[in-house]
Structure 1
Amino acid sequence: MSRETTGNTDEERGSTLGDIADETHGSDENPVIAKVEEKSTDSAIAVAGHPLHAMAVHFPIALMICTLGVDLIYWWGGDPFWLRVGLWSSGGTFVAGAGAAVVGTVELLAVPGIRARAASWAHGIAGMTLVAIAGANWGLRLADPQAVLPQGLALSVVGVLTTAIAGWHGGKLIFDHGIGLMVSPKD
């Protein structure tokens, strides 16, 4: 089958690609904003227009990384002080993560534009997995503070990796899909 019979000559493909480029780059409309506006992505839970989930995720992220850090310091030095810090850090991770997860779940289920995106579900599943890991990590420390090595350290490593996965998908929602962006009409 020749190119002429399929209608896919280089010239035809070039003009088609050029037309697409003109439509997306030559216009005043931002293609990301146009895609976002197809379905509502307005936050269901916001403070002064700022999505609460985006504000709430920073504490569990920081505390999960902190928990891994103090576990490594305890492993290296053996000072029992770091057991107490790890207990509080893992507890804070769980409590703050559960709060962020509740708000995120409400956003996922209540907002059609968020619910329609696969990255939202991947982010939600990774976030819920992270809350479960953080809960197990905290529960382990409550039951037996000495169990930090090796179980607590292993849970902290898996928790940080899961944090990275959840963060990656959360970033995709913001940067690729425009979720949570406050855009003025002149942008």
Structure 2
Amino acid sequence: MVLNNDDAADPLETDGPLVDPIADQPHFHRTESKIAVAGHPIHAMLVAFPVALAISTLGADGFYWWTGDLFWARAALWAGGMAFLLGVLAGISGTVELLLVSGIRARAASWTHFVIAVMLLSVLGANWGYRLTTGFEEAVLPWGLLLSAFAAAFTAITGWHGGKLVFDYQLGTSSTGKG
């Protein structure tokens, strides 16, 4: 028996428009923040600090390399430590949002942001821990600078994914805010 392609149904041909099966889940469009103060989501408020501090750590490392001034090595130690600690706080609030809000939890992009953010926290923690155990001046070149560069790169990737979730899908926003 010979099958002719004209006789078989085309698996790519559909009878109607394509439908996202995830979008049909109950509460898929319920994406408002559950952790907010006066309508302002906590995760969105906290995340700016570790982002700025991670980039500042790279900047301080670069200035130390350029000038040799110990101030910049010490500044990188403090910026890296605070980036990690505030990143943990932002991560806790983001994780709670992920787990509590079904519309956020249902999207694969949310999990991608979560995994990359956890990787970023690992790099930030390693950077700070290395500086604490080695000494803030000795730690800068070459490994501290390299870890800071990795942290800056992961910050950019994580921030891009997080921004995409907020601006494209309005995830973790609040509908109770005044506007």
Q: Same fold by TM (over 0.5)?
A: yes
Question: What secondary structure does 2:171 align onto?
Answer: coil
Q: For 2:139 and 2:173, how far apart are their aligned partners in 1? A: 43
Query: Which residue of structure 1 lines up, in the alignment, with residue 20 of structure 2?
Result: none
1:116-145 CA deviation, whole Å, 9 max, x = no partner? 111111111111111111110000110112
Check whether the contact 1:60–1:97 (CA below 8 A) recurs between aligned residues: yes
Aligned match of 2:146 in 146, 154, 158? 154
CA RMSD of aligned residues (A): 2.7
Q: Does 1:61 align with 2:51?
A: yes
Q: For 1:114 and 1:182, how far apart are their aligned partners in 2? A: 13
Q: For 2:173 and 2:50, how far apart are their aligned partners in 1? A: 22
Check whether the contact 1:50–1:180 (CA below 8 A) recurs between aligned residues: no
Q: For 2:93 and 2:52, how far apart are their aligned partners in 1? A: 18
Structure with greater contact order relative to length (CA < 8 Å, sep ≥ 6)? 2
Percent identity over paired residues = 54
Aligned match of 2:114 in 111, 119, 124? 124
Give the Å deviation of 1:40: 1.6
Q: What TM-score, normalized to structure 1?
A: 0.77
Matched to 2:122, the amino acid is A
Aligned match of 1:94 in 64, 84, 88? 84
Give the Å deviation of 1:183: 4.9
Q: How many residues align?
A: 160
**Structure 2 spans left out of the alignment, 5+ residues:** 11-15, 18-26
Q: What TM-score, normalized to structure 2?
A: 0.80
**Structure 1 spans left out of the alignment, 5+ residues:** 7-15, 18-36
Q: For 2:28 and 2:116, how far apart are their aligned partners in 1? A: 26
Q: For 2:175 and 2:90, how far apart are their aligned partners in 1? A: 24
Matched to 2:126, the amino acid is A
Q: For 2:161 and 2:174, how far apart are their aligned partners in 1? A: 19
Give the Å deviation of 1:42: 2.0
